[in-house]
Structure formats: structure tokens, C-alpha cells
Amino acid sequence: MGRMDLLIKNGTLVQPTQTVQADIGIANGKIVEISANLSNRDANKIIDAKGMHLFPGLIDPHVHFNEPGRADWEGITTGSKSVAAGGGTLYFDMPLNSHPPTISKEAFRMKENLANQKSLVDFRLWGGVVPGNVEELEKLHHAGVIGFKAFMSNSGIEDFSHSDDHTLLESMKKISTLNSILAVHAESDVITEFLGKENVLLNKYSAIDFSNARPIYSEIEAVQRIIAFAEATNCKVHIVHISSAKVLEPILDAKKRGIDISVETCPHYLSLNLVDLEELGSIAKCAPPLRSQQEVDLLWESIRNEEMDVIGSDHSPSLSSMKKGTFLEAWGGISGCQSTLSILLEEGYWKRSIPLEVIAKITSENAAKRFGLYPKKGALSIGSDADIAIVDISETYTLEKEDLFYKNKQSPYIGKTYRGKVKRTISNGKLVYEDDEE
């Protein structure tokens, strides 16, 4: 073996089936050696990770960094720094909050060029499905999108319309021929619009009213419909940000029937509930909305049973001014990509004894496999990219506003205490984040 650029000593590696103590040798951005007691003399730089756990770098398949066009909400520089501070080494940026949205090859190239210049870690870009752009899908695919995203309900963005059934079927047929994948925001537009108008007529604007106007059965209806469309078109489907284990039931049934479908939930659905929504106000508003504590607990059971495929932060930032007003008026999005691993360690490992191996799978390995990036990404193995989160799983800290790297430093997690802190993040063999409290 030649000389290593970096040697990480004495860490505990979180592998798919076990944790093992070993050293990791890195050269040219790749993991080249995993063994006990590697020689310090063979390395240009050494990190002593004694007492630390080494996770595969987190893959966040669901962020909104909004550049070009809305970088004042969040930009690629601040967004990718936040991902790195949370142990992330790869993110997939959604198409809709940019202006122009990523619904054409030209818009894709514009965003890709900015990300190449500004991103601190690796990235992939989603393409968008909207009415009228089916002819753009093949161009976007060949340009390099990781997949396509459609909304089954109002997106909240004027130039990214939700997809009606005809648009979905036509687009899914095309996406199937490309052997790509469609990610869907699955809420019924008919149901949510109807119930939302009822709230307005009755002057009902509370947190509970907002949640009730976007009920779990609205998610279930949309999921059942998209599953039927997947059967009709043979299109691979990924359901984003489900808020309830009840929504998981038709997805698991579809898997048993051979439908190529995967599912994601988010840290906010695993750590916040309706009481938090009432207490925190619009800073915790998102769609689908937060649910009861019972729903939180049932989602964790689905993770324990390894029924949940991936975790995405759905980091959907905005200007602070956009979070003001009634629940109807305030922007619906949670800023959270920096806190994913801390939340999963606190709520999952420490409170519910979810194995570290399972947490590593749902934050990295499973996403890499689902989107065709494994084992280059999502693994601590020889030949894989050297993407590593070095974590003190026992360190307790309280998240302060000043700790956040977001463009707009707002989050429902501020003031909360966690056990499990990212100390260093290494992306392609380079140190991209280091906890300054060390």
C-alpha cells in the first residue's frame, strides 16, 4: 500500500450489521485500507477518533437550497455547509424553489454550474415534473438528474404547478422508459383544498385546524393513487416525507406485490408533534403537518422493523418574514438539514434503543442503493468514496441559534438538547467540517 493522505485512528465503524473498531486509510479521496493498528508512518495526516463513532457520510435526498433565484431564502454555500455540519456528504436538491425551477435542461445547467462552484460537499439535482414539460424529461435525464419530482397537491410555488392525473401518467410512462424514478409529494389536492376552504369560511386558523385540514387520509388517498399509476406505467416511485405509519401500510403492501416503490420520512415527524406545533407556531409548519405523539411513536416502530427506506430532512427554508402571520399565511417549511443525525441519535438510539446500524442504513446506505450510487457512496468499505461523519454519540449539547449555518437562522430545534454531536465531516477525503468547540 502506498502513502495515505489521511489516516483516521481508533474509531468505531458503524457497518451494516455491526460496529467494529478499526483504522481507516484514505488516499485520492477513496478509502484504501480498513484494519486495526495501521501505521502512523504511512500517513500525511492523522485524526485520532478514539471514543468516536464513524458513520458513512449522511445522504440527504431532500433539500431545498433555492439557488438560483431565491438564495436569500437559502443558498448553496450556506446550505451545503449546514449539511456538512450535520455529518452530510451528499445532498439531492429539489427542483421547485429555485427560479427558474429545474424543469428544463437549461435550468438544470444553470443550477449545476452554481453548485459546482459553491457546494462544499457532493450533490445531485432533481428534475421537475409539471404540466406541459413531458418533452423536457428525457433531456433532463441525459443532463444528469438523479430523478424527477412531482406534487400531487399545491406546491406553494407559483411557477411549479402541481401535476394532475393525466400529467402524472404521461410523465411516469416517459420516466419508466428512461429507467429513472419519480418522487412524489403525496397529498390529495382535492381534499386539502376543500378542507382548507372550509377552515377559511369558519375562521379556523389554529395549529390544530391547519393539521386537520391536511389529514392522514389525504396522504393515503394520494399514495394509493400513485401506486395504481405505477402499476399502469411500470414506473419506479419514491414517496417523500410521509407523516404517519398509516401511510406506510399501502406502500408495504405494494412492495409485497412487486411494485418498485420506496418511502421517506423526516426528522420532524420523528421528534415533533401537535403539542409542539401549537407551542412553536409557524416555525414548525410543514406539509404534511405534524401529527400526534402516537403517530411519532408508530413511525419509530416502522424504523425499528426496517420498513422505512430513507430519512430526508426536507430542509425547506425561507425568509424570517415569511414565517409570520396566521397558519394559513405563513410559509410551510422546516429548516433542519443540520440536525438530522443528532435527532435520530437522541430520539432513536438513546430513547428507543434503535441500533446504530439501522440509523446508518436509513441515513446513507439505503439512499445510495435506491438511487444507484452504492457502494461508491453510502459505505465505509475499501474502494468507496471517503465520505465519513465522525460523531461523539454521547456528547450532550443544546442547539443554539448561533450554531446554525443556515442563511436564515431559524429552526424548531433551537433550544432542544441532544445526545450525539458531529465532530468532523470528511467528504471525498477532505475535512469539510470541524466542531470548533474541540
Residue 272 lies in a domain: yes
Residues 153 and 33 in one domain: no
Same domain, 85 and 36: no
* Average pLDDT over every residue of 198-202: 93
Q: Is residue 378 part of a domain?
A: no
Average pLDDT along the chain: 96
Alpha carbon 224 to its chain centroid, in Å, reads 23
pLDDT at residue 297, as a whole number: 98
Give the mean pLDDT of 252-268. 98
Domain range for 339 is: 57-370
- Give CA–CA dist 311/370, Å, rounded: 12
pLDDT at 135: 97
Instruction: Please check whether residue 392 lies inside any domain of the structure.
Output: yes
CATH number for position 394 = 2.30.40.10
Q: Is the pLDDT of residue 73 over 70?
A: yes
Q: Do 116 and 153 belong to one domain?
A: yes
pLDDT > 70: what percent of the chain?
99
Task: Tell whether 181 and 82 lie within a shared domain.
Answer: yes
Band of residue 344 on the pLDDT scale cut at 50, 70, 90 = very high
Q: Which residues of 339-372 are buried (b: 16+ CB within 10 A; e: fewer)?
A: bbbbbbbbbbbbeeebbbebbbbbbbbbbbbbbe
**Is residue 40 located within the same domain as residue 100?**
no
| Rounded CA separation 50/12 (Å) | 8
pTM score? 0.97
Q: Are strands 6-14 and 19-27 parallel, antiparallel or unpaired?
A: antiparallel
Sign of CA dihedral 225, 227, 230, 235: positive
Residue 331 sits in the same domain as residue 234: yes
Residue 436: per-residue pLDDT: 80
Residue 275, pLDDT > 90, answer yes
Is 239 inside a domain boundary? Answer: yes
The pLDDT value given to residue 437 = 60
- In this structure, the answer to whether residues 81 and 196 fall within a common structural domain is yes
Give residue 213's pLDDT band: very low, low, confident or very high (50, 70, 90).
Answer: very high
In a shared domain, residues 164 and 112: yes
Output the pLDDT for position 41: 87
Residues 17-40 pLDDT 10s: 999 999 999 999 999 999 998 988
For residues 273 and 135, membership in a common domain is answered with yes
Query: In the predicted model, is pLDDT for residue 288 greater than 80?
Result: yes
Does residue 398 belong to any structural domain of this protein? yes
Residue (of 428, 419, 408, 416) closest to 82 by Cα position: 408
Per-residue model confidence (pLDDT) at position 369 = 98
Q: Is the pLDDT of residue 194 over 80?
A: yes
284/430 same-domain check? no
DSSP string, 161-219: PPPPHHHHHHHHHHHHHTT-EEEEE---HHHHHHHHHHHHHTT--SHHHHHHTS-HHHH
Alpha helices in 31-104 (DSSP H): 76-85
Tell me, yes or no, whether 106 lies in a domain.
Answer: yes
Residue 2 has pLDDT above 90, yes or no: no
The count of domains in the chain is 2
Q: Is 375 inside any structural domain?
A: no
Give me the pLDDT at residue 42, please: 87
3-state secondary structure 223-273: HHHHHHHHHHHCCEEEECCCCCHHHHHHHHHHHHCCCCEEEEECHHHHHCC
The CATH code of the domain that includes 81 is: 3.20.20.140
Instruction: Tell me the percentage of the chain whose pLDDT exceeds 90.
Output: 95
pLDDT at 1: 61
Domain co-membership, 148 together with 225: yes
CA distance 283 to 318: 10
pLDDT surpasses 60 at 438: no
Residues 337 and 235 in one domain: yes
In a domain, 412, yes or no: no
